[in-house]
Amino acid sequence: MVTRGFTGRRPPRPEAERLPPGQYLTEDFPVLQLGPTPKIDLARWRFTLREGSKPLKSWSWTEFEALPRTRWKGDIHCVTKWSKFDTAWEGVTIDDLMAAAGIEAPTPYLLAEGYDDYTTNVPVADLAGGKAMVATRYAGAPIPPDHGGPARLLVPHLYFWKSAKWVKGLRFTQKDEAGFWELRGYHMYGDPWREQRFTGD
Amino acid sequence: MPTPLTWQDATITAAVPETPRVRRLTLAVGWPAPFRAGQHVDVRLTAPDGYQAQRSYSIASSPTTPETIDLLIERLDDGEVSGFFADVAEPGDAIELRGPIGGAFVWDPRMGGPLLLVAGGSGVVPLLSMLRHRAEAAPGVPALLLYSARTAEDVIARDELLRRDAEEPGFRLMLALTQGPSGRRIDAGRIAGALAALGMPAHTFVCGGNPFVSAISDLLVEAGLPARTIRTERFGG
């Protein structure tokens, strides 16, 4: 349906081609979260891989910082419609995490869990093969708390609610279990290029 | 599972200035599900060549009248969509929207109180929906709105809020006007004053711009509120 009187402001072509449907470019870095930014003490920080409730492997901050590091630069897309180009992150890929733990993924699905009790589901296949990392640096500096520091998941090919802030671990699940937003009507997978914002998209 | 959210046409039935920068649009909608106070809708505008722009707007009206919703849209500098709603949209126009959206920043009467609402600028919009619902459905729930705005004329729904403050025994309005000779931002002292007037809130909702929400939620945690009782929503995001 054409909206009477709306002409719009089209982004220039190179920008438009990098924007998934329904998104607009922002130069800011908006913050979205459910509540206050949690205070996280690095001396007590741990990152834990679990299968169900059973811990498989856990790292302290010092141990985590010693893992192999990877840099990634590219575009991120938030379901609230903003996209940000050329964001630069550094962290530990999920492949390197699994190798350091000496395990194969025990199930095809998992829930990322945050220190704020946030959860979000991601298929393991979307984290492996260099597609995702646990990031600890943004733009060359430690990630600010409002943006999920000290460590956040980074799954840039999915809407950014999948990139859980203040991540404390990954919990492998037998089936694809809905996380916080997925239980509240947001899409189980969340591919921005297919505009999978909500259930049924 | 949640039901799919489909786009539907809603007709603008009224469009009036709310403040010098904010326009109130009333839309007639047919909801697939009732909404909850605090939720938002997505709107989608389409140009003749098929180009589309989408934005999210919080609902200001009460869920007790779900057949119409009020959106209070602030004109942003250079705003592609807010400019359309400020200058072009008129009663009778059909707008595509879908919703209700959002299940975290919501209050309903069953949740009870006391209820602390903290707004920066047009962040008051979803909180208005909560206050209106409270007055109709749960007037016994104590509530306090701490509202930061630039000037008195920028206060959204000012007459209504002042009237509620005067008439509703369980509701207090605390305005913090940031500009002018006695301009003051919300600080730890203001938070302490609000908590002294209200008591310890069972639920706190904070909505505004990014730096505002960060600063306020930190102040609330420092004032002793459990983090899990505080919900935040930010615009520009």
Domain layout of chain A by residue ranges: 20-29+45-194
Tokens of B172: 């207090």
Q: Which CATH class is domain B8-101?
A: mainly beta
Q: What is the pLDDT of residue B236?
A: 63
- Average pLDDT, integer, range B75-94: 95
Question: Residue B69: pLDDT above 60?
Answer: yes
Question: Residue B33: pLDDT above 90?
Answer: no
Question: Residue A80: pLDDT above 60?
Answer: yes
- Sign, CA dihedral A12-A17-A18-A20, equals positive
pLDDT bin (cut points 50, 70, 90) of residue A75 is very high
Q: What is the pLDDT of residue B2?
A: 60
Tell me the residues of A at the B interface, defined by beta carbons under 8 Å apart: 1-10, 21-22, 24, 28, 30-39, 78, 80-82, 116-117, 146, 180-181, 183-185, 198-201
Of B45, B103, B234, the CB nearest to A30: B234
Give the β-pairing of B143-149 and B115-120: parallel
Model confidence over A97-108: pLDDT tens digits?
999 999 999 999
Residue among B125, B102, B94 nearest B35 (CA)? B102
- The span from the CA of A126 to the CA of A146, in Å, is 25
Percent of chain B with pLDDT over 90: 89
Q: What is the pLDDT of residue B127?
A: 98
**What CATH homologous superfamily does A20-29+45-194 map to?**
Oxidoreductase, molybdopterin-binding domain (3.90.420.10)
- Average pLDDT, integer, range A49-77: 97
Q: What is the pLDDT of residue B35?
A: 95
Model confidence over A123-165: pLDDT tens digits?
999 999 999 999 999 999 999 999 999 999 999 999 999 999 9
Give one DSSP letter per residue of A56-68, joined into a string.
EEEEEHHHHHTS-
Question: Residue A28: pLDDT above 90?
Answer: no
Question: Residue A79: pLDDT above 80?
Answer: yes
**ipTM associated with this complex:** 0.91
DSSP run (H or E) holding A101: helix A94-101
Q: What is the pLDDT of residue B48?
A: 96
pLDDT bin (cut points 50, 70, 90) of residue A172 is very high
Q: Give the chain B residue nearest A2 (alpha carbons).
A: B46
Are B77 and A174 in contact, with CB atoms under 8 Å apart?
A: no
- Average pLDDT, integer, range B122-146: 98
Report the alpha-carbon angle B71-B79-B107, nearest 5. 30
**CATH architecture, range B109-234:** 3-Layer(aba) Sandwich (3.40)
Supply the mean pLDDT for chain A: 96
- Average pLDDT, integer, range B89-117: 96
Among A124-128, B14-18, B231-235, the minimum mean pLDDT is found in: B231-235
- Average pLDDT, integer, range A79-99: 97
Distance from CA of A10 to the nearest CA of B (A): 8
Best of B1, B27, B41, B235 to mutate (most A CBs within 10 Å, chain A): B1
Contacts of A2 in chain B (CB under 8 A): 46-48
Contacts of B1 in chain A (CB under 8 A): 199
Contacts of A81 in chain B (CB under 8 A): 54-56
- Average pLDDT, integer, range A30-55: 95
- The span from the CA of B2 to the CA of A188, in Å, is 11
Of B2, B80, B88, the CB nearest to A9: B80
Instruction: Please state the domain extents for chain B.
Output: 8-101, 109-234
Q: What is the pLDDT of residue B78?
A: 86
